[in-house]
Structure 1
C-alpha cells in the first residue's frame, strides 16, 4: 500500500485520505481567524494504522501556516494541542 495523499477540500472544510474506496476525514470549521477541528473519522477497516494522526498533524500544520488560532472540540485532536 503506497502512502495515501491527504487532500484539502477547502469548500467542504475538511482534509481527506482516500483509502480503497473509503475515506478518512478531518472536519473543521472557520470563524474569522479561528479554526475548530471538530470531527475525525477513520473507517473501521483502516483503524490502528496511524491515519487519523497523519490527518491531524497535516491539518494542524496547515492551520498554523495560515496563522489561525487553533481549537478542537474533537477529543482526538485535543491530544495534539496539549
Structure 2
C-alpha cells in the first residue's frame, strides 16, 4: 500500500491517502505556533491496517517540521506520542 499524508489547512486536518483514496483524518486547531490535535478517525475499511499510526506519524512529523508546538487532546494522538516521544 502507498501512504501519503498531507495538510489540508482549509479543512483544519491532516489527511492520509492510501493508494490515492482518502483513508483518514487528524483534525486540529492552529493557534500561533501551536497545533492542537482534537480528533482522529480512520475509514472503517482501513482500520486495523496501521493507517492510523501512519497518519499520526505523518501529521506529527509535518507539524514538527513546520516548527509547531504540539498539544494532543485527541486520545489516539496522545497515545502515539507516548510511544514515540521524539515526535512531541
Which bracket does the TM-score occupy, shorter chain normalised? Answer: 0.7 to 0.9
CA RMSD of the aligned region, Å? Answer: 1.8
- Equivalent-residue separation in structure 1 for 2:62 and 2:6 (angstroms): 12
SS of the residue 1:49 aligns to: coil
The runs of 4+ residues in structure 1 deviating greater than 6 Å are: none
Count how many residue pairs are aligned between Structure 1 and Structure 2.
81
The more displaced of 35-44 and 22-31 is 22-31
Q: Distance in 2 between matches of 1:18 and 1:39?
A: 17
- Structure 1 portions without partners, runs of 5+: none
* Cα distance in structure 2, aligned partners of 1:38 and 1:77: 9
Structure 2: stretches of 5+ with no match in the other structure = 83-88
